[in-house]
Amino acid sequence: MTANNAAHWKAPKDTVFVIVDPQKDFCADGALAVPDGEAIIPLVNALKRHFDQTYLTQDWHPAGHHSFASAHPGKAQFELITAPYGEQRLWPDHCVQGTEGAAFHDDLEIHPQDLILRKGADKQIDSYSAFYENDRKTAPRFDDGQSFAEKLQQANVKRVVFSGLAFDYCVGWNAFDARNEGFDVIVVKDAVRSITPEGEAEMIAKLTAVGVKIVNAQDLPNLLNAKPAPPAPRP
């Protein structure tokens, strides 16, 4: 891919783009704001134009969710507890179903063909990943009843490219699970943000250990062996 056509490329048809939780509560002034989270939106919009199919995940918690510190009197936000399914960090109330904070960022470009998978809707189980909730058994489902892995397999997807918020939790766990499901996985490093530097470093180590590639957007066309897009038709 040369410099002259780097801006005009098309991802292979067996490759999809996933935007993890680009929601208002994870952006500036949100209930669980990720530092600089909203800054990824322009790059995410630019990247998604190069893919035939984009998926979005959306945290969709009922009020009083088990992962909220407010549901555990005497416990503090960000404290760790032991849930029936294992360790659970307690969060501020965020992305509550139907609230403004659960909505996607206003500047995010969403098209009718984009597919949305909501997660964290079970009041008793948190869900960082759209592949598996935090019990590591239950799979969130699309409206048609398919799991994320089933949907991708049915579409003959081989490679998944991830962006979104936050890298050290939901993006990372999505990438980890996608890799374990047998997909080739790429995370676009400049199209994610993390809650903490320490969490980011730990997640990078976790993902690289299972073969996830972490690259900057400028390196994506060559890594995908993307084809130059045909010239736009003249008006």
Provide the 3-class DSSP secondary structure of residue 173: helix
Decide if 119 is catalytic: yes
Report d(CA 49, CA 26) in Å as an integer: 23
Q: Please say if 144 is a catalytic residue.
A: no
Find out whether the peptide bond into 166 is cis, omega within 30 degrees of 0.
Answer: yes
Pick the catalytic residue: 24, 25, 48, 119? 119
Catalytic residue among 24, 25, 93, 170: 170
Q: Which entry of 21, 25, 59, 168 is annotated as an active-site residue? A: 21
Per DSSP bridges, beta strands 54-59 and 184-193 are unpaired
* Rounded Cα gap, residues 138 and 127, in angstroms: 9
170 is catalytic: yes
Contact 102, 56 (CB under 8 A): no
Which residue numbers are catalytic? 21, 119, 170
